[in-house]
A and B are shown apart, each in its own frame.
Chain A
């Protein structure tokens, strides 16, 4: 079938390869032949005689519905006090791939009140840091774990130097560079490095190991016909179940991160005690006693956050033995490396 558009060229063949060889074939750019065309598409007028093809422009309302610039969206930010949660909006538009920075932003979206509430609850006894024991993806966050750990590292770095500055610089009126031995000053910087790896591993690597044990423990429990995610209803309650929030990596890192908050107060006390250790030999014993108290508090916190409560549970799960074991190793390493 000849194409009526090219009336003058129809029937002309010059025996050479060229445009005239394709006159009988359908035009792939033609609107009616285009498989992607739709009823709402508008055809732009061919104003330019030099243009080779007719452009098909879809309706603007469709484009605006599909392609929205993130910066122009009216979504509020939880950190700014707005009530719209970014987690929800992200889920509505589909999950971002983990390669993008914005994927991780959902773990940093929490209000100041939530953070303060969790931080204070982590310091109290018998309080859950999460708002409920049931699994809630929106309650997962990394902000607390990362920045509480960073604050502890910075406090450990600043406080001994501040004690020296107060003691020698202000009270005694001596130059720190002349009064404090070089070894002691170097120790502050070595302590910074030690505290970075120690708290880094304890807050971000240990949760990963513990999660593997939890999952294994969970599987064994299921094979034995024991309930897992909810507290047992029977009077015996022999198997203490794992809290749903502790069954994923982010939730467990959050638990460990907030669990570190006790060290924000313990480490300065230990620094003061350590500065007195040259005068009083009993100071070392006091240091170990403080560490033991911190251990008991943290162990109670871990038990509270990781295990489900209620219904008269009498036996610790297999996982808790590892959790407490890792915490003993951490506490002892902290004493030997930082003090």
Chain B
């Protein structure tokens, strides 16, 4: 046993594998910790793969670059959480198989649980904030209703995460993670809001306010609502590992409330 205490770096650099780390660290000039050339992480040559992507240095880059990187991170999480769960025949069949498998063997070390842990580890509240603002802006048309919708969205996210926390007390997921995951899963509702409140009215103006065009647009609104509701519900139930009526029904109720507001307002 040595006296060496591992530094609290987010990447968890593996010092045990590098016996010559002390030599490397001794060459580092620590007079200017913000200097890129003297970066301690760069002094560790072999384990650069282990350095997490969360090792961020926002002080030495411009704002646009930071924003772009954040957007890419949000998009990469959406790729895991929301995009693959669009309701399709293939997904519905695979979902039923997954549920049967998970019911038969619900071990904490299953691959499904591991993927949830991966997503939970990289959760953030930036994406939910962006989605809630976009949703509120679209539905309220930037009028006085914005603040009410903004608060309502966060209350619904809180209710959903509280519900998941209460119905699954033995899962090692905290409230903030549930809020983040729920926030990501309202992305389809944002799409619903954009389509119902911006795209369809523009289409209606282009076509003209004829009776048949209003009928079609109304029907399309209802279809979009149902599709986005199913999309959100599938995403949130798969990502948070929610199963059964008891766990899924309240989530569906909250998402339906959001979707209906976007359709009717």
How long is the Cα–Cα vector from A86 to B103 in the complex, in angstroms?
A: 18
Answer whether residue B78 sits at the interface, using C-beta atoms and an 8 A cutoff: no
| Contact digits for B140-170, partner A, Cβ 8 Å, 1 yes 0 no | 0000000000000000000000110111111
Given A79-B247, A80-B106, A154-B257: A173 and B211 within 8 A (CB)?
A: yes
Answer whether residue A109 sits at the interface, using C-beta atoms and an 8 A cutoff: yes
Q: Which of B108, B167, B172 has the most CB of A within 10 A?
A: B167
Choose among B169, B215, B243 the residue that contacts A86 (Cβ–Cβ < 8 A).
B169
How long is the Cα–Cα vector from A80 to B243 in the complex, in angstroms?
A: 6
Interface residues of B in 214-231 (CB under 8 A from A): 214-215, 218-219, 222
> Which of B43-51, B63-71, B127-135, B248-256 interfaces with chain A?
B248-256
Answer whether residue A108 sits at the interface, using C-beta atoms and an 8 A cutoff: yes
Answer whether residue A174 sits at the interface, using C-beta atoms and an 8 A cutoff: yes
Choose among B3, B171, B211, B257 the residue that contacts A174 (Cβ–Cβ < 8 A).
B211
Of all chain B residues, the one with the shortest Cβ separation from A48 is B3
Of all chain B residues, the one with the shortest Cβ separation from A169 is B218
Which A residues are CB-close (under 8 A) to B244?
Answer: 79-81, 111-112
> Does the CB pair A169–B214 fall under 8 Å?
yes
> Does the CB pair A79–B209 fall under 8 Å?
no
Of all chain B residues, the one with the shortest Cβ separation from A146 is B250
Answer whether residue A124 sits at the interface, using C-beta atoms and an 8 A cutoff: no
Which A residues are CB-close (under 8 A) to B249?
Answer: 147
Choose among A69, A81, A165 the residue that contacts B218 (Cβ–Cβ < 8 A).
A165
Which B residues are CB-close (under 8 A) to A158?
Answer: 256, 260
> Does the CB pair A73–B170 fall under 8 Å?
yes
Of all chain B residues, the one with the shortest Cβ separation from A86 is B169
Q: How far is the CB of A70 from chain B (nearest CB, A)?
A: 6
Q: How large is the interface on A (under 10, 10 to 19, 20 to 34, 35 or more residues)?
A: 35 or more
How long is the Cα–Cα vector from A286 to B106 in the complex, in angstroms?
A: 52
Which B residues are CB-close (under 8 A) to A75?
Answer: 170
> Does the CB pair A112–B246 fall under 8 Å?
yes
Choose among B1, B103, B108 the residue that contacts A81 (Cβ–Cβ < 8 A).
B103
> Does the CB pair B167–A115 fall under 8 Å?
no
Which B residues are CB-close (under 8 A) to A116?
Answer: 245
Q: Which of A73, A151, A169 has the most CB of B within 10 A?
A: A169
> Does the CB pair A170–B218 fall under 8 Å?
yes
Q: How large is the interface on B (under 10, 10 to 19, 20 to 34, 35 or more residues)?
A: 35 or more
How long is the Cα–Cα vector from A174 to B219 in the complex, in angstroms?
A: 13
Interface residues of B in 192-220 (CB under 8 A from A): 209-212, 214-215, 218-219
Given A110-B246, A147-B249, A158-B260: A101 and B106 within 8 A (CB)?
A: no
Answer whether residue A104 sits at the interface, using C-beta atoms and an 8 A cutoff: yes
How long is the Cα–Cα vector from A71 to B244 in the complex, in angstroms?
A: 21
Of all chain B residues, the one with the shortest Cβ separation from A76 is B106
| Contact digits for A265-299, partner B, Cβ 8 Å, 1 yes 0 no | 00000000000000000000000000000000000
Q: How far is the CB of A128 from chain B (nearest CB, A)?
A: 21
Answer whether residue B30 sits at the interface, using C-beta atoms and an 8 A cutoff: no
> Does the CB pair B162–A101 fall under 8 Å?
yes
Answer whether residue A175 sits at the interface, using C-beta atoms and an 8 A cutoff: yes
Interface residues of A in 186-223 (CB under 8 A from B): none
Answer whether residue A105 sits at the interface, using C-beta atoms and an 8 A cutoff: yes
Which A residues are CB-close (under 8 A) to B210?
Answer: 173
Given A165-B264, A170-B215: A72 and B108 within 8 A (CB)?
A: yes
Interface residues of A in 115-144 (CB under 8 A from B): 115-116, 143
Choose among B165, B170, B264 the residue that contacts A161 (Cβ–Cβ < 8 A).
B264
Interface residues, chain A, with chain B CB atoms under 8 Å away: 47-48, 50, 69-73, 75-77, 79-82, 86, 101-102, 104-105, 107-112, 115-116, 143, 147, 150-151, 154, 157-158, 161, 165, 169-170, 172-176
Additional 9 contacts, C-beta under 8 A, given A77-B168, A110-B246, A165-B263? A71-B108, A71-B171, A79-B243, A101-B166, A111-B246, A115-B246, A150-B253, A161-B264, A170-B218
Rank and list the top 3 A-B pairs by shortest CB-CB distance, nearest first.
A71-B172, A173-B211, A169-B218
Identify 21 residue pairs between A and B in the complex whose beta-carbon atoms are under 8 Å apart, listed by A's number. A48-B3, A50-B3, A69-B172, A71-B170, A73-B170, A75-B170, A76-B106, A79-B246, A79-B247, A80-B106, A81-B244, A101-B175, A108-B166, A111-B246, A112-B244, A161-B264, A165-B218, A165-B222, A173-B212, A173-B215, A174-B214
